[in-house]
Structure 1
Amino acid sequence: MRKTLLTSALATLLGLTPTDASSQSLSAKGSCSIRCADGSMQAWGNNGSGELGTGDYFSWNVPVGVDVPPTVTAIAAGGLAHSAVITATNTLWTWGFNFHGQLGNGNTMDNAVPAEVLTDVVAAATGNFHTLAVRSNGTVWASGINSAGSLGTGDLASSNTFVQAVITDVVAVGAGLENSVALKNDGTVWAWGLNNYGQLGNGVGPSSSLPVQVPVTDVVAIASGRHHVLLLRNDGTVWSFGANLYGGLGHGTTGLSGTPAPVVGLTDVVRISAGEFQSMAIKADGTLWAWGRNAQGQLGIGSVEDTPLPVQVTALPSVAEVSSGVFLGMALTTTGTIWTWGEGISGGLGNGTNATSTVPVQVTLACAVGTAVPEVALVPEMTIGPNPTTGQVAVHTPFTSPLPVRITDLQGRTVQATTVTHQHASVDLSALRPGLYLLTVLSPVGPHVLQVVKE
């Protein structure tokens, strides 16, 4: 439900094509929204607080245009009833429910029209009642409710304008009910706010108004549900912690977990999404997997039975992007089609009805959606090692011809460029500062993105 907007480099790592690398194209909650290929937006579903951004408060069961500025590059409409996007000029725009000041526009009145609230933004996330934004210098800014410390400022004062959290070097953020989570550029994860279900990852205990480190490393993506958190590690495994009443942690049980543990039987994952009480993941082969609460068919598996273990959504064999909402889900396939499933009340499925569906139904759009096809899945196997490295790293490719190599940091900046001239070539990273980097090999059949840790 609460989608995280990623930096362009991190999005590339998770399987977006270079042209779509900065884009999160869809988000589901009680309503849905998508980013069109031309940078415009369409949305549908519940609009009681103006969260569709149409300038009114009428719900729609078919896609309608959103009144956003040209060239939206990333969308995170995952708050309970408020929405946020990032534009090509790195400005953050918000709209919808604003009782706690989560829009960050200086007041607490709902707003059905998108408004600019912050500049120099490269990543953002929306929770139930607060909003998080990452600026290009790695600082985190937050607005909204703070009664449990979800703004990360070291106090409990809520704010209807953006205030700086006490954390740096951040590349991605996630937000839940009143908890927050951040991914640093060294692959570590930090959390703050409400901790009644262990959603800070350091055991069930008191809330924290300051970030505390989660005991998992080598993380490349994060996602937060209402009371639980998902972590994608660089080995393709998913780890989870927090509330687990319906099995949303994927541990095979329904008991909460205050510390991270791996989702059972799930490997080769490239994307994750955390819904209200359910979770979803996409594997490198394009298959979609779901687990947790399913009372309204929000897992898309053709039933309404909860499941504490991942189950494949067989109706969608080739998925590029997914968003899990409150009682519904939405996916973008590699062929550019949009599908929804779950609760259809207020038109949440966007197929012209208000009916619920336990299997995916296709949404007809008035625009083309840029497909986030995982190009790397089409490229023959490449490996690097040692990883982590203190200097030299060997790149093993199946190609005999010279291949360009680009190395970027998690802000998307190119820090080094070179060429590998044979199948077992070395790349010297000794000049780079310690941290997490992306090594992109441009092969004849497409780019292959590899993560490397410089010590």
Structure 2
Amino acid sequence: MKRWTLCGKWLIIALLTVGSLWASGQEAMADSPAKVVSAAGGYDYGIAAWSDGSVTGWGYNKYGQVGDGTRIDQYVPKKISGLENVIQVTAARDASFAVTAEGEVWAWGAGYSDSVNGDPVLPYQKIELPSKLEGLSDVTSIGSNGIAGIAVHKNGTATLWYIFYDSDYKKHIKYVPLKGVTGARAVQIMGNTALILGQDDTLRSLSLYNDYYGRYRSEEELKAPEILKADISRIAISWRDAFLLRKDGTVLRWNADSQKFTVVDGLKGISNIQTVGYNRLYALKQDGTVWQWNYNYGGNAKPFQVKGLSGITAIWGTTGLTGLAINKKGEFLAWSDGYRTGLAEGSGSAHNDSDTMVTHVQQALSWTVNGKSVNFYATSGVVGNKLYVPYTSVFGAMGVKISHEVVKATDPKAVPQSQSIWTFTYGERSVSINQDKPNSEIFYMSNSTVFPLETICEGLGINLKWNKATGEVVIQS
């Protein structure tokens, strides 16, 4: 049995098309009625908001950051229930956030989603779904470092929020209006400093933290923001570095320690910038190409073009090691280089642009069996363009019975000494799969054994239709 596993926080397989774990992006996105409008990622996971207002999540899920109400890693994006009319998503570390068209802010993941005890199906892996931050309203955009967040309101003011615990260890969320902030358009948190981009394209900084008391400042302690730079259209943050996109298409780097502005050589005609992890800057050029700068790899590192990306219309960063993008065709893409991450798998040296792997992000799957919608907690998979599901998924609704037996070898010298055989039965038909044989088509994903659904349906004479453009799977027994 083949295993797809986690090694620490490195998700070995997700969004991989070479091999391939995911359906061909060309085929999957051809007729998609919805397009990605916003995307983000934390450590080894991703979330995306779509033009129909829905949100999907995938990847590493220990803290419920995917948003499906479990701690189960999801190898195929899942639609997040309870979220509607979402226009922006943000992620940092292991926490996720969404802004709706109505100006609401929703949060889930580390610090925001608590365990749900006593669930009969998932007694140890059930976790809360996204919840609304009641202290925020009329919000147009947010920024977060995973610990605290700042919301920009429709009137140009801003509010800081963060989690704290009282003397009885009860969790609360504190909301602090940022005094003196007006005309704000976007905001990012850089360490303990807020960087505020104004509607007048002026960048200002505001100290958020009281080092003496070891806490965030109260409203009375906040000072007026200081002007850092003018003529700025976008900002991107990575740890102690801020990157500023000028209106003329050039990029500046500002370091919080040196307090100096330097021009990033080799980047001109830029329309968007994003950071990934602690050492990568991604820049989208006006011609639709994407450029990467590994700025912490020594003084000689220079921006280079990311191969395999063209006709790109928007890019998004993550706090992992993967970039996200959408192209003119509406295809949702992920790419990485040199490292395994929760969003894509690369190989080779991170310094070599030829090792970049560009993958297509699979649509979230929906399941209808005999005319009824079916949902299940465990992850599904797409391997070699085929659907894989755990036995606790659609088989019960299909009327398929599953049996499992271990058959010992009669030959004492045989290797292995026993074989594990799964049998799927529907009426008079049966399909048996020996998981100990090479190419048995049985995989182990995220603590679940998953089986080749299409192969089983074909053998049992059950009709299965999978619309790869929309993710809809319809099964008729």
Q: Return the TM-score normalized by structure 1.
A: 0.57
Q: Are 2:163 and 1:169 equivalent residues in the alignment? A: no
CA distance in 2, matches of 1:137, 1:111: 35
In the alignment, what sits opposite 1:143? 161
CA distance in 1, matches of 2:140, 2:70: 29
Number of residue equivalences: 291
CA distance in 1, matches of 2:79, 2:262: 41
CA contact under 8 A between 1:24 and 1:76: conserved in structure 2? no
Q: Are 2:265 and 1:272 equivalent residues in the alignment? A: no
Q: Are 2:236 and 1:223 equivalent residues in the alignment? A: yes
Residue type of the alignment partner of 1:336: G
Once the two structures are superposed, residues 64-102 of structure 1 have per-residue CA deviations (whole angstroms, 9 ceiling, x without a partner) of 11224222111112x11111111121111111112899x
Q: Are 2:37 and 1:35 equivalent residues in the alignment? A: no
CA distance in 2, matches of 1:112, 1:292: 37
In the alignment, what sits opposite 2:246? 233
Change (3 A) 1:141 1:308: farther
Of 356, 359, 378 in structure 1, the residue corresponding to residue 356 of structure 2 is 359
Q: Are 2:173 and 1:160 equivalent residues in the alignment? A: yes
In the alignment, what sits opposite 1:132? 150
CA distance in 2, matches of 1:288, 1:53: 30
Alpha-carbon distance, 1:282 to partner? 0.4
CA contact under 8 A between 1:143 and 1:163: conserved in structure 2? yes
Q: Which sections of structure 2, spanning at least 5 residues, go unmatched?
A: 1-35, 115-125, 165-170, 210-220, 349-354, 366-477
Q: How does 1:251-262 map to 2 (within 5 A)?
A: 257-262=258-263
In the alignment, what sits opposite 1:90? 103
Q: Are 2:305 and 1:287 equivalent residues in the alignment? A: no
Q: Which sections of structure 1, spanning at least 5 residues, go unmatched?
A: 1-22, 102-109, 147-157, 196-207, 244-255, 296-304, 369-455
Residue type of the alignment partner of 1:89: E
Alpha-carbon distance, 1:235 to partner? 1.0
Q: How does 1:391-406 map to 2 (within 5 A)?
A: none
Once the two structures are superposed, residues 95-145 of structure 1 have per-residue CA deviations (whole angstroms, 9 ceiling, x without a partner) of 1112899xxxxxxxx974111112100111111311110111111111127
CA contact under 8 A between 2:161 and 2:176: conserved in structure 1? yes
Residue type of the alignment partner of 1:80: R
CA distance in 1, matches of 2:177, 2:151: 9
Residue type of the alignment partner of 2:359: Q
Alpha-carbon distance, 1:165 to partner? 1.1
Structure 1 residue matching 2:129: 3-state secondary structure: strand
Change (3 A) 1:168 1:64: same
CA contact under 8 A between 2:313 and 2:328: conserved in structure 1? yes
Q: How does 1:343-358 map to 2 (within 5 A)?
A: 348-349=342-343, 358=355
CA distance in 1, matches of 2:304, 2:346: 24
Change (3 A) 1:138 1:332: same
| Higher RCO, 1 vs 2 (CA within 8 Å, ≥6 residues apart) | 2
Residue type of the alignment partner of 1:64: K
Once the two structures are superposed, residues 293-324 of structure 1 have per-residue CA deviations (whole angstroms, 9 ceiling, x without a partner) of 689xxxxxxxxx99732211021022122222
CA distance in 2, matches of 1:310, 1:345: 19
Change (3 A) 1:268 1:87: same
Of 296, 302, 314 in structure 2, the residue corresponding to residue 309 of structure 1 is 302
Alpha-carbon distance, 1:359 to partner? 1.9
CA distance in 2, matches of 1:362, 1:237: 28
Q: Are 2:60 and 1:66 equivalent residues in the alignment? A: no
Q: Are 2:118 and 1:115 equivalent residues in the alignment? A: no
Q: Return the TM-score normalized by structure 2.
A: 0.55
Of 49, 58, 61 in structure 2, the residue corresponding to residue 44 of structure 1 is 58
Q: RMSD of aligned C-alpha atoms? A: 3.4
Residue type of the alignment partner of 2:263: P
CA contact under 8 A between 1:94 and 1:115: conserved in structure 2? yes
Alpha-carbon distance, 1:173 to partner? 0.6
Structure 2 residue matching 1:232: 3-state secondary structure: strand
Identity %: 26
Residue type of the alignment partner of 1:144: Y
CA contact under 8 A between 1:340 and 1:362: conserved in structure 2? yes
Residue type of the alignment partner of 2:286: A
Alpha-carbon distance, 1:48 to partner? 1.6
Alpha-carbon distance, 1:338 to partner? 2.0
CA contact under 8 A between 1:61 and 1:347: conserved in structure 2? no
In the alignment, what sits opposite 2:322? 328
Residue type of the alignment partner of 1:322: I
CA distance in 1, matches of 2:76, 2:102: 29
In the alignment, what sits opposite 2:437? none
Residue type of the alignment partner of 1:348: G
In the alignment, what sits opposite 1:405? none
Residue type of the alignment partner of 1:96: G
Q: Which has the larger Rg?
A: 2
CA distance in 2, matches of 1:337, 1:176: 31
Residue type of the alignment partner of 1:114: P
Of 341, 347, 370 in structure 1, the residue corresponding to residue 335 of structure 2 is 341
Change (3 A) 1:324 1:126: same
CA distance in 1, matches of 2:60, 2:150: 23
Alpha-carbon distance, 1:168 to partner? 1.5
Once the two structures are superposed, residues 359-403 of structure 1 have per-residue CA deviations (whole angstroms, 9 ceiling, x without a partner) of 2332343269xxxxxxxxxxxxxxxxxxxxxxxxxxxxxxxxxxx
Residue type of the alignment partner of 2:336: G
CA distance in 2, matches of 1:159, 1:141: 16
